[in-house]
Amino acid sequence: MNWSVFYGILIPFLGTSFGAACVFFMKKEMGDRLQRMLTGFAAGVMVAASIWSLLIPAMEQVVDMGKLAFVPAVAGFWCGILFLLLLDHIIPHLHRNSQSAEGPKSQLKRTTMLVLAVTLHNIPEGMAVGVVYAGYLAGSTQISAAAAMALSLGIAIQNFPEGAIISMPLRAEGTGKPKAFLGGVLSGIVEPIGAILTILAAGLIVPALPYLLSFAAGAMLYVVVEELIPEMSQGEHSDVGTIFFAVGFSVMMMLDVALG
Protein backbone atom coordinates (compact mmCIF):
# COMPACT_ATOMS: atom_id res chain seq x y z
CA MET A 1 0.00 0.00 0.00
CA ASN A 2 1.18 3.53 -0.78
CA TRP A 3 0.95 5.12 2.66
CA SER A 4 1.20 8.69 1.37
CA VAL A 5 -1.98 8.06 -0.64
CA PHE A 6 -3.70 6.46 2.35
CA TYR A 7 -2.89 9.42 4.60
CA GLY A 8 -3.77 11.90 1.87
CA ILE A 9 -7.24 10.39 1.48
CA LEU A 10 -7.80 10.26 5.25
CA ILE A 11 -6.63 13.78 6.16
CA PRO A 12 -9.70 15.67 4.83
CA PHE A 13 -12.02 13.31 6.73
CA LEU A 14 -10.04 13.93 9.92
CA GLY A 15 -10.46 17.67 9.35
CA THR A 16 -14.25 17.24 9.32
CA SER A 17 -14.15 14.99 12.40
CA PHE A 18 -12.00 17.41 14.42
CA GLY A 19 -14.34 20.25 13.46
CA ALA A 20 -17.38 18.23 14.52
CA ALA A 21 -15.66 17.63 17.89
CA CYS A 22 -16.04 21.35 18.66
CA VAL A 23 -19.49 20.42 19.95
CA PHE A 24 -17.78 18.96 23.05
CA PHE A 25 -15.82 22.15 23.82
CA MET A 26 -18.07 25.04 22.76
CA LYS A 27 -21.05 25.70 25.02
CA LYS A 28 -22.94 28.14 22.83
CA GLU A 29 -24.22 28.04 19.27
CA MET A 30 -21.85 29.60 16.74
CA GLY A 31 -22.61 33.25 16.15
CA ASP A 32 -23.71 34.44 12.72
CA ARG A 33 -20.48 36.40 12.22
CA LEU A 34 -18.29 33.34 12.96
CA GLN A 35 -20.36 31.15 10.65
CA ARG A 36 -19.98 33.68 7.85
CA MET A 37 -16.23 33.77 8.39
CA LEU A 38 -15.93 29.98 8.28
CA THR A 39 -18.22 29.63 5.26
CA GLY A 40 -16.32 32.33 3.36
CA PHE A 41 -13.01 30.68 4.20
CA ALA A 42 -14.25 27.30 2.96
CA ALA A 43 -15.49 28.88 -0.29
CA GLY A 44 -12.11 30.55 -0.89
CA VAL A 45 -10.21 27.30 -0.39
CA MET A 46 -12.51 25.44 -2.79
CA VAL A 47 -12.21 28.05 -5.54
CA ALA A 48 -8.40 28.15 -5.31
CA ALA A 49 -8.21 24.34 -5.24
CA SER A 50 -10.46 24.15 -8.31
CA ILE A 51 -8.13 26.41 -10.26
CA TRP A 52 -4.60 25.49 -9.15
CA SER A 53 -5.05 21.84 -8.20
CA LEU A 54 -7.61 20.74 -10.79
CA LEU A 55 -8.29 22.90 -13.86
CA ILE A 56 -4.71 23.98 -14.58
CA PRO A 57 -3.29 20.41 -14.22
CA ALA A 58 -6.16 19.14 -16.41
CA MET A 59 -5.12 21.47 -19.25
CA GLU A 60 -1.41 20.80 -18.70
CA GLN A 61 -2.03 17.07 -19.16
CA VAL A 62 -3.34 17.63 -22.70
CA VAL A 63 -0.94 20.39 -23.71
CA ASP A 64 -0.19 18.42 -26.90
CA MET A 65 -3.70 19.38 -28.07
CA GLY A 66 -2.41 22.92 -28.54
CA LYS A 67 -5.12 25.56 -28.64
CA LEU A 68 -7.75 22.88 -28.03
CA ALA A 69 -6.29 21.93 -24.64
CA PHE A 70 -9.29 23.61 -23.04
CA VAL A 71 -11.72 21.01 -24.47
CA PRO A 72 -11.30 18.27 -21.78
CA ALA A 73 -11.34 20.94 -19.06
CA VAL A 74 -14.57 22.54 -20.31
CA ALA A 75 -16.26 19.19 -20.96
CA GLY A 76 -15.33 17.76 -17.56
CA PHE A 77 -16.20 21.04 -15.84
CA TRP A 78 -19.73 21.03 -17.24
CA CYS A 79 -20.22 17.36 -16.39
CA GLY A 80 -19.30 18.21 -12.78
CA ILE A 81 -21.74 21.12 -12.71
CA LEU A 82 -24.58 19.00 -14.11
CA PHE A 83 -23.79 16.10 -11.76
CA LEU A 84 -24.14 18.31 -8.66
CA LEU A 85 -27.22 19.95 -10.14
CA LEU A 86 -28.76 16.49 -10.45
CA LEU A 87 -27.85 15.54 -6.87
CA ASP A 88 -29.28 18.85 -5.68
CA HIS A 89 -32.64 17.91 -7.16
CA ILE A 90 -32.85 14.23 -6.17
CA ILE A 91 -31.52 14.36 -2.58
CA PRO A 92 -33.67 16.07 0.07
CA HIS A 93 -31.52 18.45 2.11
CA LEU A 94 -31.75 21.59 4.22
CA HIS A 95 -29.21 24.41 4.35
CA ARG A 96 -28.26 26.39 7.42
CA ASN A 97 -30.63 29.33 8.08
CA SER A 98 -33.15 27.96 5.57
CA GLN A 99 -36.71 27.19 6.57
CA SER A 100 -37.68 25.08 3.56
CA ALA A 101 -35.88 21.98 2.34
CA GLU A 102 -34.58 21.48 -1.20
CA GLY A 103 -35.00 18.43 -3.41
CA PRO A 104 -37.96 16.03 -3.37
CA LYS A 105 -40.45 16.14 -0.50
CA SER A 106 -39.64 13.69 2.27
CA GLN A 107 -40.46 12.81 5.86
CA LEU A 108 -36.82 13.08 6.95
CA LYS A 109 -36.05 14.96 10.14
CA ARG A 110 -34.65 18.48 9.93
CA THR A 111 -31.37 17.34 11.52
CA THR A 112 -30.99 14.54 8.95
CA MET A 113 -31.48 16.98 6.08
CA LEU A 114 -28.90 19.36 7.57
CA VAL A 115 -26.37 16.50 7.53
CA LEU A 116 -27.32 15.63 3.93
CA ALA A 117 -26.71 19.24 2.86
CA VAL A 118 -23.10 19.16 4.10
CA THR A 119 -22.66 15.65 2.70
CA LEU A 120 -23.49 17.07 -0.74
CA HIS A 121 -20.68 19.62 -0.24
CA ASN A 122 -18.25 16.85 0.59
CA ILE A 123 -18.86 14.64 -2.46
CA PRO A 124 -16.88 16.84 -4.90
CA GLU A 125 -14.15 17.39 -2.32
CA GLY A 126 -13.63 13.63 -1.96
CA MET A 127 -13.58 13.28 -5.74
CA ALA A 128 -11.04 16.10 -6.02
CA VAL A 129 -8.64 14.40 -3.59
CA GLY A 130 -9.16 11.03 -5.28
CA VAL A 131 -8.54 12.25 -8.81
CA VAL A 132 -5.39 14.16 -7.84
CA TYR A 133 -3.95 11.08 -6.14
CA ALA A 134 -4.99 9.02 -9.15
CA GLY A 135 -2.92 11.36 -11.30
CA TYR A 136 0.03 10.97 -8.96
CA LEU A 137 -0.27 7.16 -9.00
CA ALA A 138 -0.55 7.17 -12.79
CA GLY A 139 2.84 8.90 -12.97
CA SER A 140 1.57 12.26 -14.19
CA THR A 141 4.44 14.75 -14.31
CA GLN A 142 1.99 17.57 -13.58
CA ILE A 143 0.94 16.09 -10.21
CA SER A 144 3.53 15.37 -7.52
CA ALA A 145 2.99 13.74 -4.14
CA ALA A 146 3.52 17.15 -2.54
CA ALA A 147 0.91 18.76 -4.79
CA ALA A 148 -1.61 16.04 -3.93
CA MET A 149 -0.85 16.47 -0.23
CA ALA A 150 -1.30 20.24 -0.57
CA LEU A 151 -4.84 19.67 -1.83
CA SER A 152 -5.57 17.22 1.00
CA LEU A 153 -4.31 19.69 3.60
CA GLY A 154 -6.23 22.58 2.05
CA ILE A 155 -9.50 20.64 2.02
CA ALA A 156 -8.86 19.38 5.57
CA ILE A 157 -8.39 22.98 6.75
CA GLN A 158 -11.68 24.06 5.22
CA ASN A 159 -13.39 20.85 6.43
CA PHE A 160 -12.66 21.79 10.03
CA PRO A 161 -15.18 24.66 10.05
CA GLU A 162 -17.59 22.58 7.96
CA GLY A 163 -17.60 19.89 10.66
CA ALA A 164 -18.33 22.53 13.30
CA ILE A 165 -20.98 24.19 11.14
CA ILE A 166 -22.96 20.93 11.08
CA SER A 167 -22.44 19.66 14.66
CA MET A 168 -23.05 22.97 16.47
CA PRO A 169 -26.46 23.71 14.88
CA LEU A 170 -27.50 20.10 15.54
CA ARG A 171 -26.61 20.61 19.20
CA ALA A 172 -28.48 23.94 19.26
CA GLU A 173 -31.61 22.17 18.02
CA GLY A 174 -31.55 19.84 21.01
CA THR A 175 -29.51 16.91 19.68
CA GLY A 176 -27.20 15.33 22.27
CA LYS A 177 -23.48 16.07 21.97
CA PRO A 178 -22.43 12.54 20.90
CA LYS A 179 -25.18 12.40 18.27
CA ALA A 180 -24.36 15.91 17.00
CA PHE A 181 -20.69 14.90 16.74
CA LEU A 182 -21.66 11.73 14.87
CA GLY A 183 -23.74 13.81 12.44
CA GLY A 184 -20.71 15.94 11.62
CA VAL A 185 -18.50 12.86 11.20
CA LEU A 186 -21.03 11.10 8.96
CA SER A 187 -21.25 14.16 6.70
CA GLY A 188 -17.53 13.74 5.98
CA ILE A 189 -17.36 9.95 5.55
CA VAL A 190 -18.38 10.37 1.91
CA GLU A 191 -14.99 12.01 1.20
CA PRO A 192 -12.67 9.01 1.63
CA ILE A 193 -15.28 6.79 -0.06
CA GLY A 194 -15.53 9.18 -3.01
CA ALA A 195 -11.74 9.47 -3.18
CA ILE A 196 -11.24 5.69 -3.33
CA LEU A 197 -13.93 5.22 -5.99
CA THR A 198 -12.42 8.03 -8.08
CA ILE A 199 -8.93 6.53 -7.83
CA LEU A 200 -10.31 3.18 -9.01
CA ALA A 201 -12.20 4.80 -11.90
CA ALA A 202 -9.19 6.85 -13.00
CA GLY A 203 -6.93 3.80 -12.73
CA LEU A 204 -9.17 1.93 -15.16
CA ILE A 205 -9.32 4.81 -17.65
CA VAL A 206 -6.09 6.80 -17.35
CA PRO A 207 -6.78 8.94 -20.48
CA ALA A 208 -9.91 10.23 -18.69
CA LEU A 209 -7.80 11.90 -15.99
CA PRO A 210 -8.03 15.47 -17.42
CA TYR A 211 -11.81 15.09 -17.63
CA LEU A 212 -12.02 13.79 -14.05
CA LEU A 213 -9.85 16.63 -12.73
CA SER A 214 -12.08 19.25 -14.32
CA PHE A 215 -15.21 17.29 -13.34
CA ALA A 216 -14.21 17.66 -9.68
CA ALA A 217 -13.50 21.37 -10.24
CA GLY A 218 -16.94 21.92 -11.75
CA ALA A 219 -18.63 20.08 -8.88
CA MET A 220 -16.72 22.09 -6.27
CA LEU A 221 -17.48 25.42 -7.93
CA TYR A 222 -21.16 24.49 -8.14
CA VAL A 223 -21.18 24.05 -4.35
CA VAL A 224 -19.43 27.40 -3.85
CA VAL A 225 -21.80 29.43 -6.04
CA GLU A 226 -25.01 27.56 -5.23
CA GLU A 227 -24.54 27.08 -1.49
CA LEU A 228 -21.57 28.73 0.22
CA ILE A 229 -21.67 32.25 -1.23
CA PRO A 230 -25.41 32.69 -0.53
CA GLU A 231 -24.90 31.35 3.02
CA MET A 232 -22.09 33.80 3.79
CA SER A 233 -24.18 36.70 2.45
CA GLN A 234 -27.49 36.00 4.21
CA GLY A 235 -29.01 38.47 6.63
CA GLU A 236 -27.61 41.86 7.51
CA HIS A 237 -24.91 43.10 5.16
CA SER A 238 -21.35 42.26 6.24
CA ASP A 239 -18.01 42.09 4.43
CA VAL A 240 -16.56 39.49 6.79
CA GLY A 241 -17.52 36.55 4.56
CA THR A 242 -15.84 38.15 1.55
CA ILE A 243 -12.68 38.92 3.53
CA PHE A 244 -12.41 35.35 4.74
CA PHE A 245 -13.11 34.08 1.23
CA ALA A 246 -9.93 35.95 0.24
CA VAL A 247 -8.09 34.47 3.23
CA GLY A 248 -9.12 30.93 2.29
CA PHE A 249 -8.23 31.51 -1.36
CA SER A 250 -4.79 32.82 -0.37
CA VAL A 251 -4.08 29.93 2.01
CA MET A 252 -4.93 27.29 -0.63
CA MET A 253 -3.01 29.13 -3.31
CA MET A 254 0.09 29.33 -1.11
CA LEU A 255 -0.18 25.66 -0.15
CA ASP A 256 -0.50 24.55 -3.76
CA VAL A 257 2.33 26.71 -5.09
CA ALA A 258 4.70 26.10 -2.15
CA LEU A 259 4.18 22.34 -1.99
CA GLY A 260 3.31 21.68 -5.64
pLDDT tens-place values along the chain, 260 residues long: 577 788 889 999 999 999 889 888 876 666 778 888 888 998 999 999 999 889 998 898 888 888 888 899 999 999 999 999 998 888 887 776 666 777 788 777 777 777 787 788 788 888 889 888 888 887 766 778 888 888 898 889 888 877 887 888 778 777 788 888 988 888 888 889 988 888 887 777 667 888 989 999 999 999 899 888 888 877 677 788 899 999 999 999 998 888 76
Is 12 in contact with 185 (CB distance < 8 Å)?
Answer: no
Q: Which of 79, 50, 48, 75 is nearest to 62 (CA)?
A: 75
| Predicted local distance difference test score (pLDDT) of residue 246 | 95
Whether the predicted model's global pTM rises above the 0.75 cut: yes
By CB neighbour count within 10 A (0-12 exposed, 13-18 middle, 19+ buried), where does 4 fall?
middle
Quote the CA–CA distance of 110 and 113 in Å, as a whole number.
Answer: 5
| Predicted local distance difference test score (pLDDT) of residue 96 | 65
Using alpha carbons, list the distances in angstroms from residue 177 to 20, 51, 181: 10, 37, 6
Quote the CA–CA distance of 54 and 211 in Å, as a whole number.
Answer: 10
